[in-house]
Amino acid sequence: MPASGSSSGRAVWAILRKECRSEWRTRYGLNAALLFAVTSLASTSFAVGRMSDRPDVLAALLWVVLLFAALASLAHTFVRETEGHTMVLMRLVASPTAIAMGKLIFNLLFLVSIELVTLPLFLAFMGAPPPRWGALLAILALANVALAAAATLVAAVIAQTRGRGALFAGVSFPVLLPVLAAAVSGTRAQWSGAPVGAELRLLAAYAVALLAASLLLYDHLWEDA
């Protein structure tokens, strides 16, 4: 039996690849999320029009669109497992933490792929001033890590409830709020030329706190058949 260290690394890699292949085969999650992001973007920009002079409104709108796209799709990796009753198989081949890390990284890649499409469209549709790419990408990166960490943990919990995905938005919102607040504030600061250090530190601290908590909590998540 392989030692636990390297093998859980291999398990995470195997699970990540499986998640990507499942997503590629069914393509259900990505299509839904992209459609969701683009439609909510289009409707906001239609309603609000061009906002080149209001970085605070732009920052808020960008993150509302991204947050709701995330809320609509990040629970999917766990809900799919419980609906397909494949959680037993998962638990027999990997430790809870390895399962969670595999899915967390997948959710992270998922978020990035949504943003690759939504961000350029947003900047174009809303006529946003050119962003300070360094600061903006740093904020996006850290916010994505925190979002993925929080969403994966909450998804693992609600996937085992009666309503499954239905509860995800409401239950995860308080946990996602600090990420939303810091991301909006940071995005606004980068557009108005202010330093973004404080927001980056906050996002990093929250991501670390969540990851630390998850390492302790994932063992308690799957204990009954």
Partner 1 sequence: MEARALTHRYGHRPVLDQLSFAFQGPGVVAVRGPNGSGKSTLIRVLAGLLRTSGGETTLHVDGRATPSRNRQRWIGYAGPDLSFYPEFTALENLTFAAEARGLARPAERSRERLEKVGLAARGGERVHALSSGMAQRLRLAFALLDDPPLLLLDEPGNHLDDEGRQALATLIREEGTRRLVMIATNDEREGALAGQRVELGTRGLGDPA
Partner 2 sequence: MIGRALLLLWIAAWIVAAFVWAPLVPVLGETTRVLYFHIPAAWVTVLALGWSMIHSLLYLKRRNLEHDHQAAAAAEIGLMFCVVATVSGALWAKAMWGAYWNWDPRETSIFFLLLIYAAYLALRSAIDQPERRARLAAVYSAIAFVSVPFLIFVVPRIYFSLHPDPIINPRGKVDMDPRIRVVFFALLLGFTGLYFWVQSLRVRVARVEHRMEERRGSGNVG
Measure the CA–CA gap between 62 and 73, rounded to whole angstroms: 17
Measure the CA–CA gap between 63 and 184, rounded to whole angstroms: 6
Measure the CA–CA gap between 131 and 140, rounded to whole angstroms: 12
Provide CB contacts within 8 A for 217, sequence distance 6+: 153
What is 17-59 written as a DSSP string?
A: HHHHHHHHHH-HHHHHHHHHHHHHHHHHHHHH---TT-HHHHH
**Binding partner 1 by CB under 8 A: which of 46, 92, 130, 216?**
92
Nearer to partner 1, 87 or 176 (CB): 87
Give the containing element (helix H, strand E) for 198: helix 197-217
**Binding partner 2 by CB under 8 A: which of 18, 56, 137, 178?**
178
Closest among 144, 161, 15 to 86, alpha carbons compared: 15
Interface of this chain with partner 1, residues 135 to 174, rule: CB under 8 A: none
Site string for partner 2, 188-217 (x = CB under 8 A): --------------x--xx--xx--x--xx
**Binding partner 2 by CB under 8 A: which of 109, 157, 194, 204?**
157
Instruction: Select from partner 1, partner 2, none the partner in contact with residue 53, using the beta carbon and a kind-dependent cut-off of 5 to 8 Å.
Output: none
Instruction: Select from partner 1, partner 2, none the partner in contact with residue 10, using the beta carbon and a kind-dependent cut-off of 5 to 8 Å.
Output: partner 1
Instruction: Select from partner 2, partner 1, none the partner in contact with residue 206, using the beta carbon and a kind-dependent cut-off of 5 to 8 Å.
Output: partner 2
**What tokens were used for 185?**
């504030």
Q: How far apart are the first and last CA of the chain?
A: 25
Nearer to partner 2, 112 or 215 (CB): 215
**Residues binding partner 1: what is the number (CB under 8 A)?**
31
Instruction: Select from partner 2, partner 1, none the partner in contact with residue 133, using the beta carbon and a kind-dependent cut-off of 5 to 8 Å.
Output: none
Measure the CA–CA gap between 87 and 43, rounded to whole angstroms: 38
Measure the CA–CA gap between 143 and 147, rounded to whole angstroms: 6
Instruction: Select from partner 1, partner 2, none the partner in contact with residue 221, using the beta carbon and a kind-dependent cut-off of 5 to 8 Å.
Output: partner 2
Tell me which residues touch partner 1 (CB under 8 A): 1-2, 4, 6-7, 10-11, 13-15, 17-18, 21-22, 25-26, 84-86, 88-89, 91-95, 98, 219, 223-225
Tell me which residues touch partner 2 (CB under 8 A): 150, 153-154, 157-158, 160-163, 167, 170-171, 173-175, 177-178, 181-182, 185, 202, 205-206, 209-210, 213, 216-217, 220-221, 223-224
